Structures are given as C-alpha cells and as structure tokens.
Amino acid sequence: MENVSHKNCLPLDELKQFIILKKQHVKIIDVRSKEEFEEKHIPGAMQNYLK
C-alpha cells in the first residue's frame, strides 16, 4: 500500500471523537480484504480493498 496518501488520515483517537460527538459527517473506508472486512469492521464503514 505504498501509494496510499496519509494526507487525509486521522489518528484513531481523533476519529473516535468525530464518531462519538458526531461533529462532522464522517465516511469510513476500510481498505482491507473482503474477508477481513466481513470478519470485523466499524459499523457504517464502506469496504474498498486496495491492492
């Protein structure tokens, strides 16, 4: 995943606050495999596997 940009990434604790406080509309994109996503994911997350 060397082509993934971290410019739009949030630290986990900051993301958790956005979700809990609902201060902003947050879209969570899970880039893991379909199998990993189906095993466990954040409710409301969208799956989009990156090779």
Structural domain span for residue 38: 12-47
Q: What does the alpha-carbon distance between residue 12 and residue 47 come to, in Å, rounded to a whole number?
A: 18
pLDDT of residue 4: 56
Neighbours of 19 (CB within 10 A): 15
Residue 17 lies in a domain: yes
Residue 25 lies in a domain: yes
Note whether 30 and 43 are within 8 A (CB): no
**Residues 17-37: tens digit of each pLDDT:** 877 787 667 788 899 999 999
In this prediction the pTM is: 0.56
More confident residue, 23 or 42: 42
Residue 11's contacts (CB-CB under 8 Å, 6 or more residues apart) are none
Share of the chain above pLDDT 70, in %: 80
Residue 5 lies in a domain: no
